[in-house]
Structure 1
Amino acid sequence: MNELYTYVHEKFRHLVTAPNDIRIAFLDEPRWIGYDIAKDIIENLVSLMNKPKRPRMLNLLVIGDSNNGKTTLIRRFYDLYGESHVDSHSNGIRPIILAEAPPSANEKELYVSLLERFYVPYRPTDSLVKLRYQTIHLFREYKVKMLIIDEFHSLLVGTPRLQRQVMNAIKMLCNELQIPIVGVGTRDAIRVLHTDPQHASRFDVAELPTWKLDHKFQQLLFQFQSVLPLQNCSNLQDPALAAKIHTISGGNLGNVHRLLVACTVEAITSGTEQITLAIIEKHSWVQPTQGLRKIIG
């Protein structure tokens, strides 16, 4: 029977006839949907990570609107290439350190955030110099090849002096360890780089733009359809459905995902077993700004 549901990826085809609660629970699991720009950025990251060490490593800033897939992309890259392991000499290896920027520009909090990723004892009350030394030591000991800092735009919070200090700390880590550093954040993160022209010259910028209503967006919807365990094909790439989904989501990837999950749950619980135009319109509340205007109005 599974061969009937060819519009669903073969890995998930068995779920089409599963009980409703199992199918709905499946929708809440994190799942990677590959698309061209994301694949290009991941290839760029792999290339950066494998470059030989040198005094001035090239860095990368990945930017995009909030909820547009930046963190999902970075975590996908981390899952593929950042797994901790033990080498032939029984040494622990951490190829990638993925940390979150502190909530404001603060050099000491930056080191604390990085130290947390190693799961080793440290004292947050230690001096800045000692925390800096311990951070550098652990990066070397675990042979880290790349540092990724998510929520990079948070470094804008604080005085210009504190912003310069934390960016100088990042530059020092790059120089001292000779590894690439990747920042991930909203477009505001670009302003962080301009605290000093030297910072801007060290970073390339890769953007995850919002989606336009075109054949690539239709292809994205076709890929989404392959992970939705419905018993009837929804043909999400149909121009009318694609246009409505794009209007509601604003081309924001996170909004697209949220909308399609809500519509799939409706299709399962109602017995429709496919996403229709009426179901999509019923869930137009998914667009946050529209919902806010309705509440205010």
Structure 2
Amino acid sequence: MSSEKSYVHVLDSFQHIVPLSNEDRIRFIDEPRWIGYEKANKSLTIMQKLLSKSKQHRMPNLMIIGDSNNGKTTLINRFYEKFGEEGVNDFKESVVPIVLIQAPPVPSEKELYISLLEKLALPYRHTDSTAKLRYQVVHAFKCCNVQVLIIDEIHSLLTGTPRQQRQIMNVIKYLCNELKLPIIVAGTNDAIRILHTDPQHISRFDVIELENWNNNEEFRRLVGSFELLMPLRKPSKLFHPDKTRLIHSISEGKIGNVRRLVSECAIEAIETGAEEITEEALKKRICKNKKAYRVIG
């Protein structure tokens, strides 16, 4: 077997994984890893600035939108992992820097408060009035010195009536005003419609759009970054124009699809002994319905 130093197609810090067993390498591939591309890094910087924003009468908010499986949840989870560690401040008070929840499946003020209380692991009665739960949430956020609230899957609100949508957005505005903290929401492109329920919401929210990737130099760098994470014993040269074109076509330019495609092909390369991702392996995953590109058997 070649020495680890010959695995220049793998990131230096992961080259020790390459000589391991097939099982260990496949397990390594399945583990989630962060790819810090330019738009994601800029978005993290914007969110970090919100985290350190001084309390003021009108706090800025942020909406992150993009197609499904194009990195929104990965981005906010990365932010949470980097800056969400709980602790105690100089006054020996509890500090929960970030509260991250998924929007309730129905646009209900009460269900939103319950999601927040459950995230903070606080007891509540489902039979309590909405007003009581609201008070409990506000009190808990103040006691925990919460600095940022993040609500993922905000497009779930679109399942409700326009009146219900306005009600939830008014709750978000209330929490922002009462607690003087920024609120970050993330959802599909349709989520932007929620802001149009009230002109005030449009003025309060900046918007980051995670667009689908074009097949350009930046996309080739992204694909190359994924290859660096795959502990294969031969270089796959995914940056080659023919392979990049295939990957872009199959993935529809969505980073989540790229990761899944490259990971599946890498695992297959390990299992078959090919030890590289070939054009043939990529072509096997082309089908008429690109949204369901995975072919089993």
Report the TM-score when normalising by structure 2.
0.95
Question: How many residues of Structure 1 are paired with residues of Structure 2 in the alignment?
Answer: 294
Query: In structure 2, what is the equivalent of residue 167 of structure 1?
Result: 169
SS in 2 for 1:132: helix
In the alignment, is the contact (CA less than 8 A) between 2:252 and 2:290 conserved in 1? no
In the alignment, is the contact (CA less than 8 A) between 1:262 and 1:283 conserved in 2? no
Tell me the CA shift for residue 170 of structure 1. Answer: 0.5
Report % sequence identity: 50
1:246 partnered with 2:248: yes
Separation in 1 of the partners of 2:87 and 2:6? 42
1:113-192 to structure 2, matched below 5 A, reads: 113-192=115-194
Query: In structure 1, what is the equivalent of residue 205 of structure 2?
Result: 203
SS in 2 for 1:17: coil
**Runs ≥4 residues deviating over 3 A:** 285-292
Query: In structure 2, what is the equivalent of residue 72 of structure 1?
Result: 74
1:217 partnered with 2:223: no
Separation in 2 of the partners of 1:287 and 1:211? 19
Select between 222-231 and 153-162 the one with higher mean Cα deviation: 153-162
Separation in 2 of the partners of 1:61 and 1:37? 15
**Alignment equivalent of 1:32, drawn from 27, 31, 34:** 34
1:227 partnered with 2:253: no
What CA deviation, in whole Å up to 9, does each residue of 1:175-218 have, x standing for no partner?
00111100100011101111111111100110111110000000
1:59 partnered with 2:57: no
In the alignment, is the contact (CA less than 8 A) between 1:248 and 1:286 conserved in 2? no
Q: 1:225 to 1:287 in 2, by over 3 A?
A: farther
Q: Which runs of 5+ in 2 are unaligned?
A: none
Separation in 1 of the partners of 2:22 and 2:238? 21
Q: Which runs of 5+ in 1 are unaligned?
A: none
Q: 1:287 to 1:74 in 2, by over 3 A?
A: farther
What CA deviation, in whole Å up to 9, does each residue of 1:11-63 have, x standing for no partner?
21111111001111111111111100000100000111111111111100000
Coordinate RMSD, CA, aligned? 1.7
Tell me the CA shift for residue 165 of structure 1. Answer: 1.1
Separation in 1 of the partners of 2:288 and 2:271? 18
In the alignment, is the contact (CA less than 8 A) between 1:249 and 1:286 conserved in 2? no
Amino acid at match of 1:26: F
Amino acid at match of 1:171: K
Separation in 2 of the partners of 1:274 and 1:291? 20
